[in-house]
Structure 1
């Protein structure tokens, strides 16, 4: 039995993709290395982007990434029911409910009963909430511009088209989404 530790000191965030694809391809002959590389790269890039936006823009304002997503959805669609905010933000209703309670306590969001259904909650921003989200989004978009700046306008449009094609294709098989 070999009890030696693997030599993984040379691996880092991005080189791990090469390592993972090569090793999985060797050990599991049916693995599609190109699909694996695509998903790993996309996942890592998205996580990196979200972490950067959260840590540079939203955490300094006392918000988490989910908190920003909820405020963003309310800002752009209010008045809006909480269940619609869950759908638009890709979060569970329970998560939105918990976040809305915090945002209401902080004076950023108001809750009222929806006129058509006494059980439904309609959400709106307070004046303070509107100022907070618009100010935050300006900083958020400046950071988005920094990220996008490594690509030309044509490359950005091509990447958007490819990502839209990827997500549209997901309708052809049973993709699970938060509801």
Structure 2
């Protein structure tokens, strides 16, 4: 039997996932520290998948956007005009995905691309005024969803989690 949570169906078996992961890794003889690392990464990847699905379904698709388009537009909003290759690096999106998403965003007149006069190979991308207006709507909707997702934590827990995740994400590539 499944529980209805908003628009999504949350299956009780998904709650068993972490326990089963732990049991399998214990059978493999992994240490408690290794198992906790596996659990942490498992929880994070599952959470990201659920967040992206929720944000796309409740915020971005209703605005005619995709998750990739939102990430690109958000990157441009934060950093300003960027070279196309920098968007891929900063947003954590492949160059091919960025190029495809930019084609759609440009067709919708949400971004504009221009070649540098000094080096015609360099393509700079910027948000258009209509792109910025749409992005602000998406940010408002996503902020509402983010707040809903984090209500299970108190203020101190959120601060601690932000700090810990910041340490993980900002570390040099582990050896």
Give TM-score, length-normalised by structure 2.
0.84
1:29 aligns with 2:29: yes
Distance 1:103 1:154 in 2: 39
Structure of higher RCO (CA pairs closer than 8 Å, 6+ residues apart): 1
Q: Which residue of 2 aligns with 1:159?
A: 161
Q: Which residue of 2 aligns with 1:17?
A: 18
List 4+ stretches of structure 1 deviating above 6 A.
Answer: none
Q: RMSD of the alignment, in Å?
A: 1.9
Q: Which runs of 5+ in 2 are unaligned?
A: 1-10
Instruction: Note the C-alpha offset of 1:116.
Output: 4.2
Instruction: Note the C-alpha offset of 1:78.
Output: 2.3
Distance 2:59 2:167 in 1: 30
Give TM-score, length-normalised by structure 1.
0.82
Q: Which residue of 1 aligns with 2:87?
A: 85
Instruction: Note the C-alpha offset of 1:84.
Output: 1.3
Number of corresponding residues: 163
Over alpha carbons, which structure has the higher Rg? 1
Matches within 5 A, 1:41-120: 41-120=43-122
Q: Which residue of 1 aligns with 2:125?
A: 123
1:86-141 per-position Cα deviation (integer Å, ceiling 9, x unaligned): 11110111211111011101111111112442211111122211111111111111
Distance 2:169 2:124 in 1: 30
Distance 2:117 2:78 in 1: 20
Query: 28, 39, 42: which one pairs with 1:40?
Result: 42
Asked whether the 8 Å contact 1:111–1:124 carries over to 2, the reply is yes
Cα distance change on mapping 1:72 and 1:168 into 2, 3 Å: closer
Distance 1:169 1:156 in 2: 20
Instruction: Note the C-alpha offset of 1:83.
Output: 1.1
Distance 2:29 2:171 in 1: 25
Asked whether the 8 Å contact 1:81–1:114 carries over to 2, the reply is no
